[in-house]
Amino acid sequence: MSANRNNAGANYYYIDQSQPVSLWRVILRFLAVVLTLALSAALIMAYLSTGISPERNWVFAFFGLGAPFLFLGNIVMLLVWIIRWRWWALVPALTLLIGVGHLGTLIQFDFRKEYPTQTTSTRGNDSETLSILTYNVHGFTRGEAQHSGYLRNADSIAAYIQRLSPDIICFQEYETMQSSDVEHLNDLYRDWPYRSYNFIYGGHDNIGYGTAIFSRLPILSAQRMIFDQSSNSLLMADLVDASGDTLRLFNNHLQSTQVDETSQDRVERFDVRGEEGAQQFVRSLGSRLKANYRRRAVQVDTVSRMIAASPYPAVVLGDFNDTPVSYTYKKMRGDLEDTFINAGSGFAYTYNRLFSMLRIDYIFHSPRYDTETYHSEDLPWSDHNPVFVRLRKKLTETEQE
């Protein structure tokens, strides 16, 4: 458009002088273009984060963390430009098209998929079916300062799990405070007689904090790993299924972001009062995220090698503390199947803080299985949602004959 203006000096004109455009509209359109390009570039950086270890370059990981918001922003700008009939719609459209595979890790639209209800047992009726639940239970203490609250949460979680009746239960942030808690939890989960624990601290007489496996399937052996310079861990176990085959289970609690409740509250409230305070908050938050991204990358490299070396079909699950658009997700999944992609529906999130936008808890499995159902329900007893799946073992060529 030209720089010609009308007598009042309030309007700009298109080159052909056919239609006046106000200065504010010019400014708004310019800002919309800048926002479109910025959101597109940021989402492309998020895509790149899946192939770049934060140990080498941590910058990309921050964009991966924001991937759900960046997808949403690009979709909004796409709709804006479509409504305005502008070719700028091609920018977010192409950006979204490039990452359509990543988008599928966040949202699925197959409404024909089957889901278990909270009141219906989903235990398999044959030896080829395997049901598994993973749950970061926040020490059974969310919102509870007293031991009585711990017991109430523990009882509520157990009642929920008993209704689903999985074959295998994997806990992260599993905590017992005293010997009576051990006895109480053992009684709640008496239908799962095979147990294994990996306590980060404590552990004497099974009093402590860490990861745990409760199983109806016999546990042949277990290997425990506490990651270097971390309070996070891996509990790996070999189990025998109902048909006599061995599977290897990886119960992971990978490096936390260590963003405390107060910081999360500030983010959710957009609390940036005071320029100096806001800068200090952002620097502190960024520093913690940077350090923990690097620690998590080292953990992921270690665990992914163990998964690749497994002589048995693997089930890899737990709290990964990272989004699907991340180095963590790509390395941990490898050639495994993502149960949400196979059987989930709608928008997936398993962390119920930070606007309920983050899926950071997963269950992956070897191609030896098919995913029959996927279910993750928002519950009040933890800052994480449980993930429940039912798998079915595929028949081998010999079995098919």
Domain boundary among 61, 81, 103: 103
Domain boundary among 43, 77, 103: 103
Q: Look at residue 76 and tell me whether its pLDDT is greater than 90.
A: yes
**CB 373 within 8 Å of CB 116:** yes
- In tens, the pLDDT along 261-284 reads 555 555 655 555 555 566 776 787
One domain for residues 114 and 99: no
One domain for residues 159 and 72: no
Compute the 3-state secondary structure of the chain and give helix, strand, coil in percent, each to the nearest 5. Answer: 40, 25, 35
CATH code of the domain covering residue 183: 3.60.10.10
What's the burial of 256, exposed, middle or buried (CB within 10 Å: 0-12/13-18/19+)?
middle
One domain for residues 147 and 168: yes
Domain boundary among 68, 87, 103: 103
Distance CA 282, CA 75 (A): 27
Distance CA 8, CA 278 (A): 42
Structural domain harbouring 57: 2-103
- In tens, the pLDDT along 159-192 reads 999 999 999 999 999 999 899 999 999 999 999 9
One domain for residues 272 and 376: yes
- In tens, the pLDDT along 11-43 reads 555 555 556 668 888 888 899 999 999 999 999
One domain for residues 138 and 220: yes
Handedness of CA 94, 98, 104, 107 (dihedral sign): negative
Q: What's the number of domains the chain is made of?
A: 2
Residue 152 has φ and ψ, to the nearest 5°, of: -65, -45
**CB 54 within 8 Å of CB 297:** yes
Q: Look at residue 332 and tell me whether its pLDDT is greater than 60.
A: yes
pTM exceeding 0.75 = yes
One domain for residues 324 and 390: yes
One domain for residues 341 and 284: yes
Q: Look at residue 134 and tell me whether its pLDDT is greater than 90.
A: yes
Q: What is the rounded average pLDDT for all residues in the chain?
A: 87
pLDDT given at position 120: 45
One domain for residues 61 and 18: yes
One domain for residues 27 and 88: yes
One domain for residues 165 and 86: no
One domain for residues 377 and 272: yes
One domain for residues 58 and 184: no
pLDDT given at position 147: 87
